[in-house]
Structure 1
Amino acid sequence: MTKPFRFGVVAPLRTDPPTWRDRVHRIADSGYSTLLVPDFPQMQPAPGPMLATVAAVTDLRVGTWVYASPLRPAWLTAWEAHSLSLVTEGRFEMGIGTGRPGIEDELRDKGMPAVPPPHERLAQMREAVRALRELDGPDRHTPVAMAVYGPKARELAAELADTVTFALGDQPRGEVERLARDFRTVGEVELALAVPVVGDNVAPHMAPPDTDPAALRAADAMTVLPDDPAAAIEEIQRRREEIGFSYFVFGADVADRFAPVVAELAGH
């Protein structure tokens, strides 16, 4: 079943708070559905206060893109997610994954007692969702977005997630189609695509700083879009038709430029 388009923006706080709030309001006024923040401890304020602020001053949905499961106990992730769902009156979406490349060094730098192997991180994700469902109870359902790649992670997402995104780099279109194929037959699962590169712009906290836009274009990677809005609209429609992606996530630096894309496609 084809899902309507919606669009999110990853908007870390990298300026003074008033400038960031001005950007948040522009994102809301441009028709984006969701404002998202990354989970980079000590590089910006914690996700909870930022997202609660956004929900208080706009009608946007808000979410984490994404919690790194090994950074905190599963019960703490679930408690914060449930709390945000409650104070935003159901506008919070919990994004969660096993951690970005290099998370092992970050955990050691922060004095974590042990670096859990990948299978334990998946278990942490499962436990966080279980604890969230328990806190939500029968009358609340906090949506869960999972960032996955390997077969065991995809299996977990098929079981538990409302939204699935793939942790992509330079994988070509055919490989991404293969990853998405099984999810197109899984009930109501929404397929999301994070696009950190638009033209030559690389979104901070969405891709490594040494990302090469030209190499991504040469590989026909799904992590890049043309910076011309008309060309982007055509390609986004193709990606939904051929692969099933209906939720697209961009970096904040291109949110204004892609406002015509959102105006043309959101909700259709």
Structure 2
Amino acid sequence: MNDQAKPAARPFRFGVVAPITSDLATWRDRVRRIADSGYSTLLMPDVPTWQPSLGPTLATAAALADLRIGSWVYAAALHRPDEMAWEAHSLSVLTEGRFEMGLGAGRPGIEVELGRPAVSAAERRARMRETVASLRTFDGPELHTPVVMAVSGPKSQALALEVADAVTFVLPVDDDRVETTRRVREFGAHRDLELAQHVAAIGDRVAPFMAPPDLDTAALRAADSLVILPSDPAAAAEEIQRRREEIGFSYFVFGADFAETLAPVVTGLAGK
């Protein structure tokens, strides 16, 4: 018999990945609407040459609206650890603690596509570890920048258990609910971290910058994948509550194109 008490459910919070896919005035209006809808965090992808630099863009967003900001996520394959840590610390200072650092290995091959030397999986993990260590040094005893680490295999999960404040799982699109539940529960048994869910598709649409645009949403539904949510807000809210109860996910991240559609979900569940 297991005598350990089940950890109390964490309150729901919701983030939005909001790349600049329009003119700046339209993007600024979108940032303000996201904040007004009750989302906790506005997030930016790390995609050099596709978007303005992550740090200045997030600082701009933080000045536009009173909400948290974050990277989703810094790609260790593309940056030096001390540079990532310094930028993250700077954003924490400039926003008075409203920044959270999303950190991951980076998509396989992304550095080669950008004309840079290939970086092995082991080196990517080493950079992630060094980044967090440098960030803690920069922060000192008076500041703690939260780190949300994107994890996939056992080695990155072990690293997150050591140094992260929260995790988001890089889920294969063919993982079904049973497999995902097994993976996440097994991870959560080792340490009580906040568990984040990257939701790439809503209904029949795929969020830009969160998955390949040709992602097969019908196949996701057929596989009972957790990468997708229904487009009906009531059904989405029911599914989100199920995922917290059965698996432990409490932080859900959507694409900005779905922010208004899912605003009723956020209004009903945020903070509860």
- Normalising by structure 1, report the TM-score: 0.96
Question: Which whole-Å deviations, capped at 9, do the CAs of 1:50-80 have from their partners, x for residues lacking one?
Answer: 1101111211100000000010111000010
Which residue does 1:264 correspond to in 2?
A: 268
The percent identity for this pair of structures is 62
The range that moved more, 120-129 or 168-177, is 168-177
Cα distance in 2 for partners of 1:166, 1:111 equals 28
Question: Which whole-Å deviations, capped at 9, do the CAs of 1:74-130 have from their partners, x for residues lacking one?
Answer: 1000010000011010000000111124xx2x3224332x21110110000000000
Aligned partner of 1:157: which letter?
A: A
1:70 paired with 2:77, answer yes
Helix, strand or coil for the counterpart of 1:211?
coil
Aligned partner of 1:236: which letter?
A: I
Which residue does 1:199 correspond to in 2?
A: 203
1:54 paired with 2:61, answer yes
Cα 1:250–1:160 shift into 2, 3 Å: same
Aligned partner of 2:44: which letter?
A: V
Contact 1:170 1:223 in 2 (8 A): no
Which residue does 1:125 correspond to in 2?
A: 128
Helix, strand or coil for the counterpart of 1:222?
coil
Cα distance in 1 for partners of 2:234, 2:265 equals 7
Tell me the CA shift for residue 248 of structure 1: 0.3
Cα distance in 1 for partners of 2:153, 2:95 equals 33
RMSD, aligned α-carbons: 1.0
Q: Which consecutive unaligned segments of at least 5 residues does structure 2 have?
A: 1-6
Aligned residue among 182, 207, 212 for 1:208: 212
The range that moved more, 65-74 or 163-172, is 163-172
Which residue does 2:4 correspond to in 1?
A: none
Tell me the CA shift for residue 183 of structure 1: 3.5
Aligned partner of 1:140: which letter?
A: L
Contact 2:161 2:191 in 1 (8 A): no
Which residue does 2:30 correspond to in 1?
A: 23
Equivalences for 1:78-227 in 2 at 5 Å? 78-101=85-108, 104=109, 106-112=110-116, 114-168=117-171, 169-227=173-231
Contact 1:183 1:189 in 2 (8 A): no
Helix, strand or coil for the counterpart of 2:42?
strand
Cα distance in 2 for partners of 1:160, 1:143 equals 10
1:235 paired with 2:239, answer yes
Which residue does 1:37 correspond to in 2?
A: 44
Cα distance in 2 for partners of 1:32, 1:184 equals 25
1:255 paired with 2:225, answer no
Aligned length: 264
Tell me the CA shift for residue 188 of structure 1: 4.1
Tell me the CA shift for residue 49 of structure 1: 0.7
Cα distance in 1 for partners of 2:139, 2:190 equals 23
Cα distance in 1 for partners of 2:112, 2:221 equals 35
Cα distance in 1 for partners of 2:183, 2:29 equals 37
Cα distance in 2 for partners of 1:262, 1:25 equals 15
Cα distance in 2 for partners of 1:99, 1:137 equals 27
Contact 1:39 1:64 in 2 (8 A): yes
Cα distance in 2 for partners of 1:24, 1:97 equals 24
Tell me the CA shift for residue 174 of structure 1: 1.2
- Normalising by structure 2, report the TM-score: 0.95
Aligned partner of 1:180: which letter?
A: V
Contact 2:18 2:255 in 1 (8 A): yes
Q: Which consecutive unaligned segments of at least 5 residues does structure 1 have?
A: none
Helix, strand or coil for the counterpart of 2:118?
coil
